[in-house]
Amino acid sequence: MPKVDPFHAIQYNGGTGDVSTKVAPPYDVLDSASKSALLDRDADNIVAIDLPHVPAKELGPPETYERAAKTLDDHLQNGVLGVSAQPAMFAYRQTFDFEGITHQRCGMVATLETQPFGPREGGGVLPHEETFSGPKEDRFALMKETRAQLSPIFGLHADEKGEATNIVRSSMEGRDPDQTARTDDGVLHEVWTITDETIINEYRRALDGEDVFIADGHHRYTTAVNYLRHLTQMRELPDDHPARRTMFVLIGMSDPGLAIGPTHRVLGGMASYDLDGFVAKLGDTFNVAETQEPAEQSEHAMTAAGEPTSPGVLGLIDFASGRRFVLTLKTPDPLEPQFPKMPIEWRQLDVTLVQHLIVKGVAEPAFNGGEPVKWAFPHTVKEVLEIGSGAETGAGGGAGFAQIGVIVRPTPLEAVRAISRANELMPQKSTFFYPKLATGLFFKSLDV
């Protein structure tokens, strides 16, 4: 693994106490209404800095980023935010309910060497999905103005023996957390500040040689790499320049609190879409069965149609008619002829099958004149139906947008590991590690 280090964190309340009104979900799940609600509750909420432009899926006006930078500087000047005197790592625990079970996911907040994606001797930083250009432009503009990393990257590592996970969890025992927050989704966030050199060095040794897989934050990590490149093109940087380090929350794959949810697809913008023709075209690669299960029970209908490990069991909702279908593959590996060199784990992902068999194979060529369709990426069937009714959420949507919803199952953790190690990429929005990390518990300055 790239070298793991403590850092001087920027924090609310000096890194102590309850900061529930200060923190927020990550920028990419927020819309204008949710941003306003957070600021109405507390004008110092992190979204005033981290979400200057909505939606953050594209580059905004320059003055929005300038205003964010001024807000950050003002908060540092007036004491709303402070910088820790001693470099530290932070044990970070999230307590949450998922599918009716209470989980506690634990990780360590630290910095890693900022390096390009890819395998490397001693451990590299590996992506697992493709990214969009718009969010990277937005995040780069924000980083240039604020000269700060405002939210940590969510990184996974193998931790097959559980050593790193044990160190993180044991460092929480016997004392109360230094800082806490509870977010609107009910998740409890707890932070323990760690300055003990013995614990820090034990943790470093436990991660020696491990790869880091980006679970969430591909756009932000790419921005960190691009920002470092931008600086080095202008001048020579010392080895200890802050831009050479990127803030991560590192979580071992052996941690019992890991939970992965689905990222469904809502498709729209097809100029000549009609349901009967669409279903007929799908019949080339899928068995298509209409179901009478309520739309809210789409996942139940999918479970009834195939084994949990069977590839390509999908739900389909037509919003205009309300009709619902379950799709199952006619052959177990239909993408092998087209992508024989890709790992089978990639070819059998639900999201890969949607992209290549449904979108590229049917929607675009047959119903949109070969042009790209419009996408939204909700995480729950409820949100799929909201977008289908014309709502706009943090996942996308809006009036007149939605035509069909495609319900997928969560991407298996084993597939993330296999595809990343093969140095391949999944389609965009392939995974949803629940819950999201909170933004606002720790920042990192990029000033000298």
Residues 211-250 have pLDDT tens digits of 998 888 888 999 999 999 999 998 899 999 999 999 999 9
Which tokens sit at 189? 């966030």
Question: How many residues comprise the chain?
Answer: 448
> ω before 435 within 30° of 0 (cis)?
yes
- 17 contacts 99 by C-beta, under 8 angstroms: no
- Which of the four pLDDT bands, split at 50, 70 and 90, describes residue 398? confident
In this structure, are residues 192 and 90 in contact, taking their beta carbons and an 8 Å threshold? yes
Q: 314-318 and 260-261 as β-strands: parallel, antiparallel, unpaired?
A: unpaired
How high is the pLDDT of residue 381?
A: 93
pLDDT exceeds 90 at position 291: yes
Q: Indicate the pLDDT class of residue 194, thresholds 50, 70 and 90.
A: very high
Phi and psi at residue 206, to the nearest 5°: -65, -25
Tell me how far apart the alpha carbons of residues 148 and 222 are, in angstroms, rounded to a whole number.
14
pLDDT at 132 over 80: no
Q: pLDDT by residue (tens digit) across 204-213?
A: 999 999 999 8
Exposure of 244 in the CB half-sphere (CA atoms within 13 A): 12
pLDDT at res. 305:
77
Residue 75 pLDDT > 80, yes or no?
yes
Q: Would the pLDDT of 168 be above 70?
A: yes
Facing residues of 247 across strands? 111
Question: Is 417's pLDDT higher than 80?
Answer: no
* Per-position DSSP letters for 139-175, written without gaps between them: HHHHHHHH-EE-S-EEEEE--TT-HHHHHHHHTTTTS
pLDDT at 114: 95
Query: Per-residue pLDDT for 17 more than 70?
Result: yes
Which pair of structure tokens corresponds to residue 268?
């729209």
Return the pLDDT at 309. 65
Residue 345, Cβ density class (10 Å: 0-12 exposed, 13-18 middle, ≥19 buried) = buried
pLDDT in tens, 93-125: 999 998 889 999 999 999 999 999 888 888 899
- The pLDDT of residue 307 is 63
| pLDDT for residue 423 | 75
Cβ contacts of 276 within 8 Å, gap of 6 or more: none
pLDDT band, residue 128 (cuts 50/70/90): low
Q: Looking at residue 300, what is its pLDDT?
A: 84
Query: What pLDDT score was predicted for residue 311?
Result: 83
The overall pTM is greater than 0.85: no
Eight-state DSSP code of residue 426: B
List pLDDT tens digits, range 43-61: 999 999 999 988 877 888 9
Q: What's the chain's average pLDDT?
A: 92
The kind and range of the H/E element at 94 are strand 89-98
Question: Residue 12: CA atoms inside 13 Å, Cβ hemisphere, count?
Answer: 20
Q: Pick the residue with more confidence: 358 or 296?
A: 358
Residue-level pLDDT at 308:
63
- Assess whether pLDDT exceeds 70 at residue 129: no
d(CA 159, CA 195): 22
146 pLDDT more than 80: yes
Task: Please report where in the chains the tokens 């820090």 appear, as a residue.
Answer: 200
Q: What is the pLDDT of residues 377-396, one digit of tens each?
A: 999 999 999 999 998 886 77
Give the mean model confidence (pLDDT) for residues 403-429.
84
Three-state helix/strand/coil letters over 4-55: EECECEEEEHHHCEECCCCCECCHHHCCHHHHHHHHHHCCCCCHHHHCCCCC
| Range 170-175 average pLDDT | 95
